[in-house]
Amino acid sequence: MITLALLSIVAGGCGVSQQTRMRPYEQKELHCIQQYRNGDIQTAKQALLDYLRLLKDEEASGLPFMKTAWSKALAAARLSLIYQQLGDTALANQYLQKTITWARQDAQEEGNKISLEKTDEQLQMLMTNSVNKLDENTSPKWRRN
């Protein structure tokens, strides 16, 4: 959910009109982040699904949002972990594949040759470790139960 911080950085370089148009997205992102951190596992799952839909809307808006593929990869990695904990291995695997796809897309957009050369398993481990580290710092409620 690092997109919120990136939105603030990007918004600084935008005109007033674009900043005004970006504000509702920022507010919705903040709501999703709060739901993910403070909700039970079902609430966290729904917040991430809503967040992925919001990222799709952001892309379609034509506004200068950054790091969308990376944000999608993080959200998908979190969903994979949630579905794993819920015992739904099919959806856990589906979101794991989306994680890998979006992580590769981000690496390509950023010109990150090291990440592009990683195997699917290495990318999976990288993203899982990234999510675990981020969640360790924010301590979402669903992970404490």
> Read out DSSP for 43-101?
HHHHHHHHHHHHHHHHHHHTS----HHHHHHHHHHHHHHHHHHHT-HHHHHHHHHHHHH
Q: For the chain, what percent of residues have pLDDT higher than 90?
A: 58
What average pLDDT does this structure show over 48-71? 84
With 80 as the cut, is the pLDDT of residue 22 above it?
no
> In the numeric block, which tokens belong to residue 98?
């989306």
CA distance 15 to 98: 34
pLDDT value, residue 144? 85
Question: Which pLDDT band holds residue 129 (cuts at 50, 70, 90)?
Answer: very high
Sketch the domain layout of the chain as residue ranges: 3-140
pLDDT class for 6, splitting at 50, 70, 90? very low
> Average pLDDT in the 42-69 region?
86
Distances (CA, A) of 110 to 1, 24, 105: 18, 27, 9
Rg (CA), the chain: 15
pLDDT at 118 over 80: yes
pLDDT at position 3: 44
- Do residues 116 and 108 lie in contact, with contact meaning Cβ atoms separated by under 8 Å? yes
> Who has greater pLDDT, 26 or 92?
92
Higher pLDDT, 89 or 67: 89
Given a cut of 70, is residue 73 above it in pLDDT?
yes
